[in-house]
Amino acid sequence: MTVNFPQASGARSTTPTLTRILADAAQPAAPQLAPRILQTRKWRTDYAALLAELTSASARDATVAHAVAAHGLASARRNMVWTEGAADTSLAELDLGVGVTWQPRTAFVAGRNRPATRLQVPYRGRLLSDGGLLDQLDRWVTKGIAEPSFRDAIARVVANPQWLPAPGRRIVLLGAGAELSPLETLSSWGADILAVDMGGGDRWQKIADTARNGAGSVRWPLRPEGTPGLDVAGDLPELAVWLASESGELPLVLGMYAYADRGAHVRITMATDLLATYLCELDPRTALAYLATPTDAFIVPREIVEAGTAAWRGRGWAKYLDPLARLVSRGTLFRPPYTTVHEDETGLADVLVPQQGPSYALAKRLQRWRGIVAERDGHRVSFNVAPASWTRSVTRNRALAAAYRGAHHFRVEVFEPDTCRVLMAALLVHDLHHASGQRAHPEALFSDQALHGGLWRAAYEPKSALGFAALLGVI
């Protein structure tokens, strides 16, 4: 049993399903885009431009953005399936509260240490806190690495250390053992955690050790034979029942940190989406938490567009080499940022990297659509852009790893995972305690508080400098 792509001609190909989902999502914003999506013959390369175009079209107004998100999610549920034996059932027809044949038991570990009483962030061999951390936040903003709203959010956490354990909530971590999971950080702060991850390997020993060395409480599900771990996509009904039973009287925060390669990432994303809908219907107090990748397409406010344009104008001696580079590369190198600016002076920050593949891009977009719909429906949503970081998935990709090594030549900072985890956990507890207020546009859910590493304020469209950055990284 598992969330799956439908079977066609004896195979479960991702392309027909992903193109149909994206085409359906485009209907409310750009109907003329839908047939182009369905007819593309180079999906693995064309998807990036198509997804960026849809992002730009959704900037028209809030109603359009909400419709795009709702249509995209509805299409994913219609077109993806629940496979049980030889039978496929549309996800739109799946009822998580029915058909559970076994119920997981629960393991529990209480941390043996005292909870941290202030925010401390590891950064380049130092442990920043209080005034030192605030100074570093200012430096990141000055360099264009982070947005001022990011600095303000982290500063609020510094001023309110009682937020760190997220009191009064129980935090679900899907992918608790993932590299960017905040398990260790939240546990050291004394949080109440429900840890979910796959079985097998030594990951559960690491999770258990992390829990014991922390200051909070960590629970996780056990299969009937006593082994830990559940598959979010394959054990979805059982996981839903377990989370509902373990919530007690506390509202849940459903955090999505799981990662998988290719189509599997879409499958676990849709399983999470079903789980989010189920838990939000059970308890309207349920909050959602996701991390957005900086290598996507975003609608950004006027001040970011102006900063990127100013950086382009002030790029110095390099501007004399740009025309030759663009001529040699047939216009692919060193393009100016923000060639797409909307009537309200917002811009399209197009950082979609084709090397990541369409499955990853569509999985992250499905997550964004869920965040937009959940916030519209009144649920608290923490959905922050995390910076590029040296995770294992990046270092396995030679091209991306080389580009990251050369990124500093373009004033883009790549973060260590330890730094990223703590900062993103701090934004999570901030978002659970501090109301964001009415957003001007649903896409502001992602541009607010962004730690993009400088990609949005760079002098060039990031994709147009990626190849040269990779060359510098190799050198």
The model's pLDDT over 239-269, given as tens digits with 9 standing for 90+, comes to: 999 999 999 889 999 999 999 989 999 999 9
Of the given ranges (336-340, 360-364, 459-463), which has the lowest mean pLDDT? 459-463
Calpha distance 7→88 (Å, rounded): 8
Of 372, 409, 389, give the one whose Cα is nearest residue 451: 389
Query: How many other CB atoms sit within 10 Å of the CB of residue 244?
Result: 15
**401 and 260 within one domain:** yes
- Give the lowest-confidence range in 205-219, 340-354, 385-399: 385-399
User: Are residue 135 and residue 112 in the same domain, yes or no?
Assistant: yes
- Please report, for residues 109, 251, 274, 308, 365, the alpha-carbon distance to residue 254 in angstroms, rounded to integers and kept in the order given: 20, 10, 12, 35, 18
278 within 8 A of 172, measured Cβ to Cβ = no
Share of the chain above pLDDT 70, in %: 95
* pLDDT (average), residues 197-209: 89
Q: Cβ(251)–Cβ(169) under 8 Å? A: yes
Residue 382, SS3 per DSSP: strand
Examine the fold and report which residue of 61, 95, 129 is the final residue of a domain before the chain moves on: 95
Residue range of the domain that includes 56 = 2-95
Average pLDDT value over all residues in the chain:
92
Q: Per the structure block, which two tokens stand in for 336?
A: 């100016």
| pLDDT (mean) for 31-55 | 95
Residue range 126-146, pLDDT digits in tens = 999 999 999 999 999 999 999
**In sequence order, what are the beta bridge partners of 381?**
288
Predicted TM-score (pTM) of this structure: 0.95
Note the pLDDT of residue 119: 98
Predicted confidence band at 321 (pLDDT cuts at 50, 70, 90)? low
Domain with 218 in it: what CATH number?
3.40.50.720
Exposure string over 419-455, b if 16+ CB within 10 A, otherwise e: bbbbbbbbbbbbbbbeebeeeebbbbbbbbbbbbbbb
Residue 326 pLDDT level (bands cut at 50, 70, 90): low
Domain count, the chain: 2
The confidence band for 1, taking pLDDT boundaries of 50, 70 and 90, is confident
Are both 21 and 50 inside the same structural domain?
yes
Q: 451-473: per-residue pLDDT in tens?
A: 999 999 998 888 777 776 667 77
The position carrying tokens 């962004």 is 450
Lowest mean pLDDT among 39-48, 350-359, 415-424: 350-359
Domain boundary among 73, 95, 117: 95
**Same-domain pairing of 227 and 375:** yes
Indicate whether 336 pLDDT > 80: yes
> What span, in angstroms and rounded, lies between the C-alpha atoms of 427 and 422?
9
- 172 shares its domain with 276: yes
Binning pLDDT at 50, 70 and 90, where does residue 394 land?
Answer: low
Whether pLDDT at 413 is above 90? yes
Query: Do 126 and 79 have their domain in common?
Result: no
Domain boundary among 95, 115, 130: 95
Q: pLDDT grade, residue 318 (50/70/90)?
A: low
Residues 24 and 141 in one domain: no
Q: Looking at residue 98, what is its pLDDT? A: 79
